[in-house]
């Protein structure tokens, strides 16, 4: 029986994400942080690292804002906020897709058609550019969340995601140009 990364990665990353978020929540409630009395938002390093490792999953978590209402309390599922639940679902989907891509290892095997380059490569490049911009902003304002180390770590992880998302369409375009008849 062959081990499938499409199953292993989500089963490893989901508990890791839960652990990091819980650790970050505990760190944010520590006596040192409370004593500082920040007048702006504070995010603990584990929370920022979890956000960087699972950066694409944050987009699904952002859709939970569609269910927020000003006149009601924030919706919950089994006591968990909707953005937390959506983020965890996003983590599962993200790492399933990453595992599936690694299982198939089709990054260098076949050239994409022009249609696939536009429909898949375009959004990947756009997403990579977005992560690059977000990572760059983190380096330009490292004390953004009152946590320099966490912000720089998250920015590094954003840069890695941006490289991955920009590399796939770039490699497919290069492969397509190489296969073009002279």
Query: Residue 41 has what pLDDT?
Result: 78
Query: Residue 109 has what pLDDT?
Result: 61
Neighbour-count burial for 50-68, b at 16+ CB within 10 Å, e otherwise: bbbbbbbbbebbeebeeee
- Contact criterion met (CB below 8 Å) for 5 and 102: yes
The H or E element containing residue 9 is helix 5-28
Phi, psi for residue 38 in degrees, rounded to 5: -65, 140
Query: Two tokens at 64?
Result: 């939970």
d(CA 61, CA 135): 19
**What string of pLDDT tens digits covers the 182 residues of the chain?**
577 889 999 999 999 999 999 999 888 777 666 666 666 778 889 999 999 999 999 988 888 888 777 777 777 788 788 889 999 999 999 999 999 988 887 555 666 777 877 888 889 999 999 999 999 999 998 888 788 999 999 999 999 999 999 998 888 888 777 766 55
Query: Residue 139 has what pLDDT?
Result: 93
Query: Residue 106 has what pLDDT?
Result: 54
d(CA 77, CA 82): 7
d(CA 97, CA 59): 15
Helix extents (H) in 30-147? 31-36, 45-53, 57-62, 82-104, 114-116, 122-140
pTM above threshold 0.75: yes
Query: Residue 180 has what pLDDT?
Result: 63
Query: Residue 31 has what pLDDT?
Result: 63
Task: State how beta strands 80-81 and 76-77 pair.
Answer: antiparallel
């Amino acid at each position: 029986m062959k081990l499938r990364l499409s199953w292993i990665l989500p089963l490893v990353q989901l508990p890791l994400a839960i652990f990091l978020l819980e650790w970050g929540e505990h760190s944010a409630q520590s006596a040192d942080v409370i004593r500082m009395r920040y007048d702006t938002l504070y995010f603990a390093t584990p929370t920022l690292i979890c956000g960087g490792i699972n950066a694409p999953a944050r987009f699904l978590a952002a859709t939970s804002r569609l269910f927020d209402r000003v006149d009601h309390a924030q919706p919950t599922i089994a006591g968990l906020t909707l953005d937390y639940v959506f983020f965890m679902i996003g983590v599962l989907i993200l790492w399933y897709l990453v595992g599936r891509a690694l299982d198939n290892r089709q990054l260098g095997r076949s050239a994409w058609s022009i249609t696939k380059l536009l429909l898949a490569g375009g959004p990947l490049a756009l997403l990579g550019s977005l992560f690059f911009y977000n990572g760059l902003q983190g380096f330009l304002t490292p004390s953004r969340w009152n946590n320099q180390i966490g912000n720089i770590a998250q920015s590094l992880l954003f840069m890695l995601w941006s490289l991955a998302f920009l590399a796939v369409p770039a490699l497919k375009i290069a492969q397509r140009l190489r296969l073009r008849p002279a």
